[in-house]
Copies of this chain bind each other. A is one copy, B any other.
Amino acid sequence: MQIAKTIAEIRAFVAEARAGGKTVGLVPTMGALHVGHASLIDAAAGRCDYVVVSIFVNPTQFCPGEDFERYPRPFEKDVRLCEEHGAQAVFAPSPAEMYPRENLSWVTVEKLTAPLCGLSRPGHFRGVTTVCTKLFNIVGADVAFFGQKDAQQATVIRRMAADLNMPLEIVVCPTVREPDGLAVSSRNRYLSPQERKQAPVIYRALRRCAELVDAGRCDTAGIIEQMESVLQEVPALEVEYVSLVDAESLEPVDRVDGRVLAAIAGRLGSTRLIDNIVVDRAAK
């Protein structure tokens, strides 16, 4: 396992792999790795000869008051997980390595970043797209892997790469869930035992949406109402949004027709949780 703390080091590692004719995969993460990340590394290892996992808690994607400081950083454990799942390198730069001076240059994606999480997290996606651009430029990967759990992020990154002709492929891998349906997330560890028991209500609401669409319902307002009534089973959940949007444009839909993203965000105590599924009425 090669560990690079600097940009020059990871570029040298990748150049060596390239010189050996290897294809290069990148799994960008903020560390605190779990089975969801492991599934991305597995996908990368199945697809590329040389897999780089970046571990960087990116300050520019946290909004004021968010959990940047307390975000978990179990580095040794993360490195072991990367190795076990077939990564060849970890790139773990410091904030000063990634932002050595005032950052004046930003990559922004319009429209797609406005709804859903964009409403409550101003500047978040700008931080994500900017750091991903930097990581893509640093690593020079052929393929980068993201999780469907962060559906809006995946959509935004895919559009950014296409619009800006970035010379790599974006692969989005399925959400990994706990046995009770809760989407695996680094932030789940913030939940108290009681909150952990309540959290799967989000996935149950999403399942209700899927069942209604399966049963032929397509009226967005009626479906959302039913999803909300599922969420009300846990009064402690402070719902941020329950949305049905076009899976590509992320614009609200009146009727479920084609690929529709059903997405929920909410807070349990101080922990913000998001989850989503894609329903595809046309495919049935």
Contact = CB atoms under 8 A, between A and B. Distances in A.
Interface residues of A, number: 27
A138 B166 CA distance: 7
A36 B132 CA distance: 36
Contacts of A7: 165
Interface string A121-137: 00000000110011001
A163 B105 contact: yes
A258 interface: no
A163 B112 CA distance: 24
B104 A159 contact: yes
Instruction: Say whether chain A's binding surface is mostly helix, strand, loop, or mixed.
Output: mixed
Given A137-B166, A164-B137, A106 B104 contact: no
A146 to B, nearest CB: 16
Contact of A105 (B101, B105, B159, B167): B159
A164 B162 CA distance: 17
Nearest to A111: B104
Contact of A112 (B11, B104, B112): B104
Contacts of A160: 105
Contacts of A129: 105
A182 to B, nearest CB: 32
* Interface-central residue, A106, A109, A129, by most chain B CB under 10 Å: A106
A167 B139 CA distance: 9
B112 A137 contact: no
B110 A164 contact: no
Interface of A: 7, 11, 101, 103-112, 129-130, 133-134, 137-138, 140, 159-160, 163-167
A107 B105 contact: yes
A240 B108 CA distance: 30
Contact of A110 (B104, B112, B166): B104
Contact of A138 (B106, B112, B165): B165
B109 A164 contact: no
17 contacts: A7-B165, A104-B110, A104-B111, A104-B159, A105-B107, A105-B110, A105-B159, A105-B160, A105-B163, A106-B108, A106-B110, A133-B164, A134-B164, A137-B164, A137-B165, A138-B167, A140-B167
A207 to B, nearest CB: 32
A103 B163 contact: yes
A199 to B, nearest CB: 33
A56 to B, nearest CB: 13
A106 B167 CA distance: 16
B104 A137 contact: no
A52 to B, nearest CB: 14
A167 B7 CA distance: 11
